[in-house]
């Protein structure tokens, strides 16, 4: 990575790869022709897995080097958030992950079943299907005819571009402007920029008494707060 300031911790990169709704896989055929596919995938142990038909370009690419990528746009930052005249400061805040590895076919029936079970658990978490087992009569024939591919995660790199290359005053202006704009995701983006740049002066809307700083929460934080307030005297009329 050219600028180490943007490098994402491996655990965060792995978590982002695991939650991505789909991945892009770029590789080549034996003839050197480029192949690019968008695929559903899941993380299983130290590998990324996906499935497909046993014929076609993906099959031709087995055993070849590939790049897998995912990305998340955090927020678009117009130039006037930073400078009232110059167009140059316009940018996009984002997170991205890339995996470099070899496309390996999964041939062991039990491992194929485990990979497909992981895919269903990710994309159909509500269940509603018979668990996938390699020796179950519902799945034995399908498993034998389906291609399952894996890519090792040894070469995994994550990038989190959240205004780390800006000056502290610019970072603060971006955070305050995101908060004022208030579009979908802007509040989360503002908190993300603050978290990524701890030396930046805290914006006024994040200041709290006793030198405390407000911060963004998660759904689990909200549930814990609700539990704390459940018995409050003014809360007996609400669910």
* DSSP string for residues in 177-197: HHHHH--TTHHHHHHHHHHH-
Are 156 and 16 a contacting pair, CB within 8 Å?
A: no
Q: Work out the mean pLDDT of the chain and round it to a whole number.
A: 92
d(CA 64, CA 38): 17
d(CA 32, CA 9): 34
Are 152 and 41 a contacting pair, CB within 8 Å?
A: no
d(CA 99, CA 43): 12
d(CA 19, CA 14): 9
> Of 193 and 226, which is predicted with more confidence?
193
Q: Is the pLDDT of residue 203 over 70?
A: yes
Relative orientation angle of helices 168-181 and 186-196, to the nearest 10 degrees: 160
Nearest to 27 by CA among 71, 59, 52, 72: 59
Render pLDDT for 114-152 as a digit per residue (tens, 0 to 9): 999 999 999 999 999 999 999 999 999 999 999 999 999
């Amino acid at each position: 990575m050219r600028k180490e300031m943007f490098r994402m911790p491996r655990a965060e990169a792995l978590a982002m790869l695991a939650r991505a709704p789909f991945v892009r896989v770029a590789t080549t055929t034996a003839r050197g022709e480029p192949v690019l596919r968008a695929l559903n995938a899941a993380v299983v142990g130290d590998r990324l897995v996906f499935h497909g038909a046993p014929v076609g370009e993906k099959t031709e690419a087995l055993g070849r080097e590939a790049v897998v990528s995912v990305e998340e746009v955090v927020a678009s930052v117009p130039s006037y958030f930073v400078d009232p005249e110059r167009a140059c400061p316009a940018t996009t805040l984002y997170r991205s992950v890339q995996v470099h590895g070899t496309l390996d076919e999964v041939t062991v029936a039990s491992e194929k079943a485990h990979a497909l079970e992981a895919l269903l658990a990710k994309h159909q978490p509500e269940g509603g299907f018979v668990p996938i087992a390699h020796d179950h009569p519902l799945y034995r024939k399908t498993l034998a005819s389906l291609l399952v591919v894996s890519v090792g995660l040894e070469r995994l790199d994550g990038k989190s571009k959240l205004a780390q290359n800006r000056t502290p005053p610019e970072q603060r202006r971006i955070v305050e402007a995101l908060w004022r704009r208030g579009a979908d995701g802007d509040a989360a983006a503002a908190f993300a920029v603050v978290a990524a740049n701890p030396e930046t002066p805290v914006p006024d809307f994040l200041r709290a008494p006793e030198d405390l700083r407000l911060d963004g929460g998660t759904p689990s934080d909200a549930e814990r707060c609700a539990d704390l307030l459940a018995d409050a005297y003014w809360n007996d009329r609400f669910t």
